[in-house]
Structure 1
Amino acid sequence: MSSVDCKVVLLGATNTGKTCLMERYIHDRFLAKTTTTIGGCFAAKKEIVGNKGVVLGIWDTAGSERYTSMSRMYYRKAKAAIICYDITTRSTLIKARYWAQELKRMEEDCKIYLCGTKKDLVDSGLNERDVDINMARALAGGRYLNAELFETSSKTGENVGNLFQKIAEDSSKPENAIDESAKDAIRLSWKQDHRIQPTRNKERCCLAS
């Protein structure tokens, strides 16, 4: 197996499109139907940053809370984590906060990237947006996460490459280039934002993107 310069873990609730995101990035394809991930699945891809190659080793993990203890094995020593939520289902943003808490409890120096998925469903009018961009920004920009925010579509490929390229760029920076104040900003001391509240359950769309 190729050496990995940056270990990346995909986290988030079930059916938020983590596997589709990985498939789009690794194989540049969209899978209309995927099986539920149990445990973890690994893939790697090289990005070019300047004149340097950075290999991203990516772990796709199970989204169910019953697999939390198993998922910990996969995000151990991860440098970056993509925490996914479905922009058509607000409850998945609540789950994103849960996974962030789990991650930071184990790997507090891991850099978080908050990823809203299924943008194509909203853009095409098939589903209504249930997570306003400002809600996601409130979570991403809070003292606890201090996360980069991306909205993506695995179906069209929108923003997927930009997300992973940003991870590669950030991971190639020297350790001492990280702002110490940013490290202090990710402690377990944030308060829940009143705008991030669950709504009624929605039917799941089988064409998760």
Structure 2
Amino acid sequence: MAAKVDLKIVILGKEYGGKTSLVERYLHDKFGDVPYQATIGAAFGAKTVTLEDGHRLTLGIWDTAGAERYEAMSKLYYRGAKAAVVCFDLTDISHFERAQFWVNELKTHEENCRVYLCGTKYDLVKENKKLRKIDSVHVEKFAEDIPASVHETSAKTGYNVGEMFQQIAEDFGKSEGLVTANSNNISQHQDGDTQGQVDLAAPPVKQHCCPTL
């Protein structure tokens, strides 16, 4: 039986930017050393989380294709999404340029969709600062103008992945009146390879076809 989705989240960004690895780490707590093949269309997964006040939400996560030839198809998948994680590889400036494109698309067509900017492959830039090609100050300034929150993550180590999705769930809960506005948010930049407070008792489901949007 398909999971009932309370919050639709779409993952956007340029191909080979780590989107699928990010989702795999969050849904299944795993990381493949061999790069994933480029996503065609979109892949869907769901996971149940527990909010700070005890409410439970099922997140429906759409991992979209990053190649420009699938751009029109990606627009179908972000329709009706309440949150979008716009990913960019911290080691490649072209990825942030593409991220700005997706932000503009969302603001034009899904103005009620909350945006989360996600810098991927943090483990690489932490190990070698010279690999960082995207200035964090520039990203923060862009985020202020949207507005959006900024997260740097590593699918390889799990750094900040669970925290980011937990914040997405908490923000949605507050916007829907499920939790009080003065609840404490999960830290965005806590330095450590810890996961967010996800409900591991409810196993995730994933499918690579095209279920109802």
TM category, shorter: 0.7 to 0.9
8 A contact 1:45–1:56 mirrored in 2? yes
Question: CA separation of 1:163/1:98 partners in 2, compared to 1, >3 Å: closer, same or farther?
Answer: same
Q: Name the amino acid aligned to 2:174.
A: K
The residue correspondences of 1:1-209 to structure 2 (distance < 5 A) are 1-32=2-33, 33-49=35-51, 50-125=53-128, 128-142=131-145, 145-175=146-176
Partner secondary structure for residue 172 of structure 1 = helix
Query: What's the offset of the Cα at 1:125?
Result: 2.1
**Cα deviations by residue, 1:119-159 (Å, 9 ceiling, x for unpaired):** 101112286111111011111111xx200100000000000
Give the distance between the partners of 2:168 and 2:77, measured in 1 at CA.
Answer: 18
Where in structure 2 are there 5+ consecutive unaligned residues?
A: 182-213
8 A contact 1:121–1:127 mirrored in 2? no
Partner secondary structure for residue 140 of structure 1 = helix
Give the distance between the partners of 1:170 and 1:48, measured in 2 at CA.
Answer: 13
Which stretch shifts more, 130-139 or 168-177? 168-177
TM superposition score normalised by structure 1? 0.80
TM superposition score normalised by structure 2? 0.79
Give the distance between the partners of 2:40 and 2:140, measured in 1 at CA.
Answer: 30
User: Percent identity among equivalent residues?
Assistant: 49
Give the distance between the partners of 2:76 and 2:130, measured in 1 at CA.
Answer: 35
**Cα deviations by residue, 1:180-209 (Å, 9 ceiling, x for unpaired):** xxxxxxxxxxxxxxxxxxxxxxxxxxxxxx
8 A contact 1:114–1:149 mirrored in 2? yes
Partner secondary structure for residue 30 of structure 1 = coil
Which stretch shifts more, 101-110 or 72-81? 101-110
Q: CA RMSD in A?
A: 1.4
**Cα deviations by residue, 1:145-175 (Å, 9 ceiling, x for unpaired):** 2001000000000000000000010111244
Query: What's the offset of the Cα at 1:51?
Result: 1.2
Which stretch shifts more, 93-102 or 168-177? 168-177
Where in structure 1 are there 5+ consecutive unaligned residues?
A: 178-209
Which stretch shifts more, 166-175 or 11-20? 166-175
Give the distance between the partners of 1:139 and 1:21, measured in 2 at CA.
Answer: 22
**Cα deviations by residue, 1:52-104 (Å, 9 ceiling, x for unpaired):** 10111000001112211101111110000000011111111111010111122
